[in-house]
Amino acid sequence: MFRKVLIANRGEIAVRVIRTLREMGIASVAVFSDADREALHVRLADEAIHIGPPLVRESYLCIDKVIAAAQRTGAEAIHPGYGFLSENAAFAQACADAGIAFVGPPAAAISAMGSKTEARARMIEAGVPVVPGGSADTLEEARETARRIGYPVMVKAAMGGGGKGMRLCLHEADLERAVDRARSEAEKAFGDGKVYLEKAIMKPRHVEIQVLGDKHGNVVHLFERDCSIQRRHQKVVEETPCPAGNPALIAAMGDVAVRAAKAVDYCSAGTIEFLLDQDGSFYFLEMNTRLQVEHPITEWVTGIDLVREMVRVTAGEPLGYGQDDIVRRGASIECRIYAEDPATGFLPSPGRITALVTPSGPFVRDDGGAYPGAEVSSHYDPLVSKLSVWAPTRALAVERMRRALSEYVVTGIRTNLPFHDRLFRQADFVAGNYHTGFIDEHKAELLQGKETPTDEATLAVALAVAMSQKRKRVEPIAQGNSGVSPWLAQHRTRQLR
């Protein structure tokens, strides 16, 4: 097993990985940009090393700097988290070339599934159902593909994900504009403007299957997550089980997901994403060759620590269990708490958090990367935390999430907490009747509705925290005191400059 692992990421996911490493007795190394000198992941890690200015291309996306940081600190492995370099085949190969283990799949698997067009071809060859589609290298080629599969169509970036480079086109007259805009956005986001076309499945669910494989050819699935509540094609709420699923459907999707993973000799944690049509048909969408943001809900219902498993299989250990050994219990839901304003179209709301009270109590988990006094930077994704709950049934999980949301208080920045509060009181959502266009269909109700007042006791705690921060300023990290909590102060961070 490894003695030291570097986390090539920031924020809550870096904190999440550090915690599991500490449980495993593995030393952790954080990397940070100028904007993250006082970030929680820097304070919590055993060591931290500066890698550049705030711009991601000069810090968190700089392969040479990350590799150098690992070499300098003696880290034997690198966990990429999600985003940044997590699905970069060149980075995985650079780790291998430097003799550093990459906590993820091999570069060949990332490469095979990183290009959506290549992934589609691989899945078709493996007998995996895919959405009808085709190439769009030229406008004329796009028109031919659209005529063949029929409108409406979705123009999609061939590389990347996260909803970037996607445009819905309902009629041929709109195709040229949709292709141009998708190409432009894809070029800016991924450095590659190549796009392709897929048949638009109207009002589908976005359902994904978590897979896990080792280096000995064993691959299992850990059931599904419904990720249909999205804004701008980006997930906001996820849950398991899928409200529209049934054992036979999920078993079929799981079998297909395992087949897809084996088709590229996959090992580590990964996710096969599907579109689930209203008639029960499902189609391969893409594979994310990394840990997902929403992985906590899978951990809740299966009891399996996915970060631990990733580290284990990277070290060469076999899974040690088969598909029949994995049992799902109860239901789990996750809300992504963002520093953004739903009333302005979910625009980011960076700034300094003056007070922060996170929920607790039975079966409530908050994966956060912030603290009172922390700065939510405009340079990065504005995710504050991932709030998740577990309960024996979905109905009880919805009730528990309502209670947890009522206890969550953030001041100093705007967040999407009011949106979540309204969503968990919306009748169709509570009944499990939703699809990927749900937020757009209920904009007036979800984005401009009346806010529920914060519980007076919870607000009093938040104000007390804010006042304590004013009385006692957080000391600079360089002095070795985190200033966050006595527990964190016990784990002083040695910074390398």
Question: What residue ranges define each of the domains in the chain, with the CATH number in brackets?
Answer: 4-103 (3.40.50.20), 132-199 (3.30.1490.20), 205-447 (3.30.470.20)
| CA atoms of 320 and 328, how far apart (whole Å) | 18
Angle between helices 107-114 and 116-125 (to 10 degrees): 100
Q: How do residues 299-356 score in pLDDT, each as one tens digit?
A: 999 999 999 999 999 999 999 999 999 999 999 999 999 999 998 889 999 999 999 9
The most distant pair of C-alpha atoms in the chain lies apart, rounded to whole Å, by 68
Q: How confident is the model at residue 457 (pLDDT cuts 50, 70, 90)?
A: low
Q: For 240, phi and psi rounded to 5 degrees?
A: -145, 135
pLDDT of residue 162: 66
27, 21, 139: which is closest to 74 by C-alpha? 27
Q: At residue 449, does pLDDT exceed 80?
A: no
With pLDDT > 70 as the criterion, what percentage of the chain qualifies?
90
pLDDT at 187: 87
Question: What pLDDT is stored for residue 476 in this prediction?
Answer: 36
Q: Which residues of 133-154 are buried (b: 16+ CB within 10 A; e: fewer)?
A: bbebeeeeebbebbeebeeebb
DSSP assignments along 376-429, one per residue: E-TTS--EEEEEEEEESSHHHHHHHHHHHHHH-EEESS--SHHHHHHHTT-HHH
Percent of the chain with pLDDT over 90: 81
Chain-centroid distance of CA 80 in Å reads 12
* 147 phi and psi angles, rounded to 5 deg: -65, -35
What's the start-to-end Cα distance of the chain, in Å? 28
Cα–Cα distance, 42 to 496 (Å, whole number):
11
- Residue 297 has a pLDDT of 98
List strands edge to edge, sheet with 4-7: 101-102, 77-79, 4-7, 27-33, 47-52, 494-496
> Measuring CA to CA, which residue among 50, 38, 177, 29 is closest to residue 483?
38
Q: How far is CA 380 from the centre of its chain?
A: 14
Q: What is the predicted pLDDT for the residue at 488? A: 37
In the residue annotation, 47 being an active-site residue is answered as no
Q: What is the mean pLDDT of residues 160-172?
A: 84
φ and ψ at residue 221, rounded to 5 degrees: -115, 155
Which of the residue ranges 41-45, 148-152, 399-403, 482-486 would you say has the lowest mean pLDDT? Answer: 482-486
pTM score, two decimals? Answer: 0.86
- Label residue 381 by pLDDT band (50, 70, 90): very high
Kindly report, residue by residue over 186-207, the tens digit of the pLDDT: 888 788 899 999 999 989 999 9
Neighbouring CB atoms inside 10 A of 369's CB total 23
Q: What is the C-alpha separation between 89 and 427, in angstroms, rounded?
A: 44
Per-residue pLDDT of 51-65, as tens digits, reads 999 999 999 999 999
Task: Find the mean pLDDT for residues 476-485.
Answer: 35
| pLDDT of 3 higher than 90 | yes
Question: Token match 């999600």: residue?
Answer: 82
**Would the pLDDT of 112 be above 60?**
yes
Per residue in 127-151, pLDDT (tens digit) is: 889 989 999 999 999 999 999 999 9
In this prediction, residues 25-46 reach a mean pLDDT of 98
According to the model, what pLDDT value does residue 485 have? 37
Tokens representing 438?
């749900």
Q: Is the pLDDT of residue 483 over 60?
A: no
- For the cut 90, the answer to whether the pLDDT of residue 160 exceeds it is no
Distance of CA 343 to the CA centre of its chain: 23
The pairing of beta strand 153-157 with beta strand 195-199? antiparallel
The answer, yes or no, to whether residue 454 has pLDDT greater than 90, is no
Residue 473: predicted pLDDT: 42
Average pLDDT of the residues of the chain: 90
Residues 6+ apart with CB under 8 A from 288: 87, 161, 208, 270, 271, 273
Residue 470, pLDDT > 70, answer no
Binned at pLDDT 50, 70 and 90, residue 465 comes out as: low
Q: Interhelix angle for 89-97 vs 63-73, to 10°?
A: 30
Neighbours of 3 (CB within 10 A): 11
Q: Higher pLDDT residue, 78 or 469?
A: 78
With cut-offs at 50, 70 and 90, classify the pLDDT of residue 164: confident
The residue whose two tokens read 């953030």 is 410
pLDDT at residue number 116: 78
Contacts of 62 (CB under 8 A, 6+ apart): 51, 52
One-letter amino acid for residue 161 of the chain: G
pLDDT score, position 89: 96
Cα separation, 58 vs 54, whole angstroms: 7
Going from the C-alpha of 432 to that of each of 185, 240, 252, 298, 422, the distances in angstroms are 33, 11, 21, 18, 15
Q: Is residue 385 predicted with pLDDT exceeding 60?
A: yes
**C-beta separation of 79 from 311 below 8 A:** yes
Give the mean model confidence (pLDDT) for residues 22-42: 98
Single out the catalytic residue among 12, 286, 299, 334. 286
